[in-house]
Amino acid sequence: MSRVRGSCPQCGANVEFAWSSSIQTTCEYCNSVIVRHDVDLEKVGVVADLPPDVSPIQIRTEGIYENKAFTVAGRIVYEWEGGGWNEWHLMFQDGVSGWLSDAQAEYFISFPLANPGYVPAATELRRGQALELGGQAYTLTALTKAGYVGVQGELPFEYWDKKAIQFADLRSADGRFATIDYSEEPPLVFAGKGVEFDSLRLKNLREFEGW
């Protein structure tokens, strides 16, 4: 972990990138979206205030996955006709970057696939379709068009001011899952599995009245 510190180009507040692999963060004071170019910081936009959230997870929540410690570094928030969900950006102690999907008390850990193989265009997809990604066989179970709501904290790539985004969710015979994110070209592909909340041994969670 190699921290980069600087001042927000918009308001002058202190800004810190806690992880060397982080490319983007948000100013906690003026909501500016800030992109890092080595040690130089650039404001590229502004994120709106995020809607109220009932998730107990927050930035700097810590946990354990497969005997590896992680810290929540950032998040992307989406909404669709059935509700909304958080994609929490995880930084593991060994420098690996992963994601924790948090939707209606269901949790999935995933990691980017660097070499997924052939990824069909969104227009070629249909439910029940068989696909192979990263050498794993999957079945397409859902196609979701979601709206981008905003970002918070540190992310490993530039991601802001998005519009409607097409997602494809897939499942394997042994219970694994994959997601294709068509917000970029080529599409982003993530693969992982579902997890139980208690198995992550999370600490530094948000506290709600009545807990």
Task: Name 118's Cβ contacts closer than 8 Å, sequence gap at least 6.
Answer: none
pLDDT number for residue 81: 86
pLDDT number for residue 151: 93
Please check whether residues 35 and 71 belong to one and the same domain: no
Please check whether residues 20 and 101 belong to one and the same domain: no
86-145: pLDDT as tens digits: 999 999 999 999 999 998 889 999 999 999 999 999 999 999 999 999 999 999 999 999
Q: Is 211 inside any structural domain?
A: no
Give rounded-to-5 percent helix, strand, coil for the chain: 5, 55, 45
Q: What is the rounded distance in angstroms from the CA atom of residue 14 to the CA atom of residue 22?
A: 16
**What range defines the domain where residue 21 resides?**
4-46
Q: Is 52 inside any structural domain?
A: no
pLDDT number for residue 21: 87
pLDDT number for residue 112: 96
What CATH number does residue 12 fall under?
2.20.28
